[in-house]
Chain A
Amino acid sequence: MAITRDEVLHVARLARLELTDDEIERFTEQLSAILEAVAKVSELDLSDVEPTAHPLDLVNVWAEDEPRPSIPVEDALANAPDREAGFFKAPPA
């Protein structure tokens, strides 16, 4: 196993996810399988290869500081599960 049950629980807690015992077991297996598959890469000698964070050979893609219209507040809130006045309403943090 490339990942332990405790690590799965830790990551779940960071994402504020509550997992059942079945899920913990299943995700531990699945995440391990993914990590093992990706670990294949480490079999290669990459000492001469620069880390590549981005596939595009571009730099300095940016925009001028010119305002564009925002969306109406009703559109912004259209998908909110709950609201209060113009606010999104979330469970207590």
Chain B
Amino acid sequence: MTWEPVIGLEIHIHLKTRTKMFCRCEVAYSEPENTRTCPVCLAHPGSLPVPNAKAVEWTIKLGLALGCRIAERAVFHRKNYFYPDNPKGYQISQYDEPLCVDGRLVVPGPDGEPEVGIVRAHLEEDAAKNVHTGSAQGRIAGASATLVDFNRAGTPLVEIVTRPDLRSADDARRFLQLLRQTVVELGISDAEMEKGSLRFDVNVSIRPQGSDELRTRTELKNLNSFAFAAKAIQREVERQTGIYEAGGEVEQETLHFEPGTESAPPLRSKEEAQDYRYFPEPDLVPLQPPAELVERVRAELPELPGARIMRLAAELDPDTATDLVTSGRDALFERVPGDRRAVANVLMNQFAAAGVDAAAVDPEEFGKLIEARSRIPRERLIEALAASGTPGFLADDYLGDGLMADTSELEPIVDRILEANSGQVEAYRGGKEGLLGFFVGQVMRETQGKADPKVVNELLREKLST
């Protein structure tokens, strides 16, 4: 029998507002613990929450970008649970009247353009950060204390829930890449997993191909990268397949991949959503997003990365198109003349490895490099790419014949340039090694492009390291 994966995602992103969701403490990531708190986010009796207007607007913006219907009326609810990250004893969240409902995101892949339904995108507050201490690796089991930092408590958090529309681990990865790029380009979140401003959980089940049943699912939590998530999903699909093929039954369970990082305690499987005892937050009045606000935000939407991926996938392939767009290199790609496939390959391989900012590159000069790439030595191309973001970069400097390769000729020039740019020399020695390209460029200018970049590089490295 052929088995079909059925995958749904739940994504949380921090909004990069200046202040928290329900108080005006600054949102902080690296401040000393408990220095961004107030009576509201510490849950002192008598304090009252006031929603952040910008967070509401940005959630609407995301909802529109995801093709959601923006609710005419949205309500905050209390989600009750008891845990040290939650001083009020409840999280202010949204329940049956969220801000954004019923959207979709098209995720181009090798098997077409699957449309992933968005059940909802709602606004809530993040919990405090818990540090479990007292045992090796800070794992929960055996911890002797829980230390609590409330700087994160109350950070605006959007929860996005998809329908179980994804059919492969790679589709899930592409969806996450595209969603992340979308929120980054909307300017509403930096969506960095390392920082905790993007987190997600995955629901996985399988079913016989062609069936529309929904079988028991397992939940994968605390996955720390998109690539790792794709692997974990694939493994879980294989595990479930093995169980069914052996005549067994999959049990509902939660698989934690990074213990100790959860923010809300997972419900035990026997517990139900009703155990959160949701009820409307009496301290907050409903939201009724004004039509003029929604229309203004809609008019401000930029061309979305999903649309750009589809446009580029038509001339390349979905994965390359996704990589170009989600790495922010597609704008350069579209401006560089020449063979499309070659430009894309160089951008995603050698150029990506050089770590040069795509926005600093002159597309015409870049196009000359691509055009000449098979005629020049590979190292020369790599050197040229490394220098391609330097102001005044000329491809011809790396492409000409009759190169000056004599060190006795080049050394005085290099010395002169280092002397004339002592500030940059100091910065380079202080760790700004990207400046190498700058020095190379200067030597090239001085020699009208005749210096052999390889020799110049060697000379510069030697002199700069002493």
Contacts and interface: CB of A to CB of B under 8 A. Distances in A.
B55 A65 contact: yes
B376 interface: no
A17 to B, nearest CB: 9
B464 interface: no
B50 A62 contact: yes
A46 B361 CA distance: 68
B287 A87 contact: no
A76 B89 CA distance: 18
A71 B38 contact: yes
Contacts of B84: 88, 90, 93
A88 B150 contact: yes
Nearest to A52: B280
B146 interface: yes
B130 A93 contact: yes
B446 interface: no
Interface residues of B, number: 55
Nearest to B76: A53
A60 interface: yes
Tell me which of B18, B280, B285 has the highest count of chain A C-beta atoms within 10 A of its own C-beta: B285
B50 A63 contact: yes
Contacts of B143: 92-93
A54 B285 contact: yes
A29 B290 CA distance: 47
Interface string A56-79: 101111111111101111001100
A59 B149 CA distance: 33
A18 interface: no
Contacts of B277: 14
Nearest to A82: B145
A59 B147 contact: no
Contact of A59 (B35, B89, B288): B288
Contact of A65 (B19, B150, B287, B290): B19
Nearest to B82: A16
B185 interface: no
B132 A66 contact: no
B417 interface: no
B275 interface: yes
Contact of A54 (B42, B82, B280): B280
Contacts of B29: none
B285 A61 contact: yes
Contacts of B80: 14
A49 interface: no
Contact of B34 (A67, A68, A87): A87
Contacts of B36: 70
27 contacts: A14-B80, A14-B275, A14-B277, A53-B75, A53-B280, A59-B73, A59-B285, A60-B290, A62-B53, A65-B17, A67-B24, A68-B19, A70-B25, A70-B26, A70-B36, A71-B38, A73-B33, A77-B34, A86-B35, A87-B148, A89-B146, A89-B147, A89-B148, A90-B84, A90-B145, A91-B146, A93-B146
Interface of A: 14-16, 53-54, 56, 58-68, 70-73, 76-77, 84-93
Given A88-B147, A90-B147, 12 more contacts: A14-B80, A54-B285, A62-B287, A65-B17, A67-B25, A71-B37, A73-B33, A88-B149, A90-B145, A91-B146, A92-B132, A93-B140
